[in-house]
């Protein structure tokens, strides 16, 4: 019984594949369109890349033949969305942009703007790699949020933009921290100054204040005598800045220990 069901299933699958291949080679554009949409809907509902890829092949074939026709708008959108659903985030933004140029007043325009931006979001790499796509994603998400402030996709767009901004903050913070750890203290101080100015609400802000102080402290105590006094005073100012914003911060014990050494050294001047 089980063998019979298996054989029947395989036979139906073979026939189905054969019919699909036959359809691909035919000139039946109407049948290709209806099959492509059916496969798209099933693939989207079932999360089936196989069905989506089959739909894509048909859509790519018939799209030129439907340009200027009523079905053209639907086909161009399905083509873009199928790339998106398949995770081809290099072709999907191009296809969504093309859709928006051809049909700017479409009821699908908002979704196209959002998914174009989301495509760049999914292309954004780890924080320690080149962040060109991250900047582009933030820019495109902001375009969507400005154009559709009450739109359907506002919540996920805001979440994506926030995540990407934190990624950029982390990259800037880690660069500054790397200067500190490799004992390029002047570069570290400059980088932390820029970070604090550029990212006022960052979750890395307190750590940036601490490492800026620690960089200045270590630069000072390793300086020539003629430079040490001014550098110790600058480190003390950075200590005051940290205490101002984080009076009960997690780095207080390390700061107090270093400050005690700074005060003792300043007595020599």
Backbone angles phi, psi at 204, to 5 degrees: -95, 5
pLDDT, average across residues 16-33: 84
Q: What pLDDT, on the 0 to 100 scale, is given for residue 16?
A: 61
- Asked which of 2-16, 209-223, 230-244 is least confident by mean pLDDT, the reply is 2-16
CA distance 94 to 218: 51
What pLDDT does 178 receive? 97
Question: In the predicted model, is pLDDT for residue 132 greater than 60?
Answer: yes
**Residue 227 binned pLDDT confidence (cut-offs 50, 70, 90):** very high
Residue 7 clears pLDDT 90, i.e. is over it = no
Between 148 and 12, residue with greater pLDDT:
148
pLDDT at 10: 35
Predicted TM-score of the model (pTM): 0.83
Handedness of CA 107, 108, 114, 120 (dihedral sign): negative
**Among residues of the chain, what percentage have pLDDT more than 70?**
94
pLDDT, tens digit, 9 for 90 and up, residues 70-117: 899 999 999 999 999 999 999 999 999 999 999 999 999 999 999 999
- The arithmetic mean of pLDDT across residues 116-123, rounded, is 98
Is the pLDDT score of 4 beyond 60? no
Q: Of 60, 119, 123, which is closest to residue 92 (Cα–Cα)?
A: 119
Share above pLDDT 90 across residues of the chain, in percent, rounded to a whole number: 85
Give the pLDDT mean for 135-149: 98
- Closest C-alpha to 144, from 175, 114, 168: 114
Q: Residue 251: name the closest of 216, 214, 220 by CA.
A: 214
Distances (CA, A) of 133 to 84, 123, 129, 172, 192: 16, 6, 10, 16, 24
Structure tokens at 150: 């009450």
Q: What is the pLDDT of residue 203?
A: 95
What mean pLDDT, rounded, does the chain reach? 92
Residue 250 CA to residue 206 CA, distance in Å, equals 9
* Paired tokens of 103: 């049909």
CATH architecture of 30-108: Alpha Horseshoe (1.25)
Closest CA to 188 of 176, 199, 198: 176
């Amino acid at each position: 019984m089980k063998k019979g069901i298996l054989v029947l299933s395989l036979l139906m699958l073979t026939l189905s594949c054969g019919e699909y291949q036959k359809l691909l080679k035919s000139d039946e554009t109407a049948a290709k369109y209806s099959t492509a949409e059916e496969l798209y809907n099933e693939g989207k509902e079932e999360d089936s890349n196989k069905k989506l890829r089959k739909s894509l092949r048909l859509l790519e074939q018939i799209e030129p033949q439907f340009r200027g026709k009523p079905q053209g708008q639907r086909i161009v959108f399905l083509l873009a969305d199928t790339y998106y659903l398949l995770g081809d985030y290099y072709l999907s933004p191009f296809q969504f942009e093309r859709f928006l140029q051809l049909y700017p007043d479409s009821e699908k325009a908002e979704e196209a703007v959002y998914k174009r931006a989301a495509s760049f979001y999914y292309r954004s790499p780890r924080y320690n790699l080149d962040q060109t796509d991250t900047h582009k994603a933030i820019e495109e998400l902001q375009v969507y949020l400005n154009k559709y402030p009450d739109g359907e996709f506002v919540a996920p767009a805001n979440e994506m933009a926030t995540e990407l901004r934190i990624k950029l903050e982390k990259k800037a913070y880690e660069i500054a921290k790397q200067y500190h750890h490799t004992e390029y203290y002047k570069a570290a101080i400059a980088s932390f100054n820029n970070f604090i100015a550029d990212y006022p609400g960052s979750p890395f802000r307190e750590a940036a204040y601490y490492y800026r102080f620690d960089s200045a402290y270590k630069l000072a105590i390793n300086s020539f005598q003629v430079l040490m006094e001014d550098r110790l005073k600058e480190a003390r100012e950075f200590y005051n800045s940290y205490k101002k914003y984080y009076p009960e911060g997690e780095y207080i014990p390390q700061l107090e220990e270093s400050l005690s050494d700074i005060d003792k050294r300043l007595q020599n001047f």
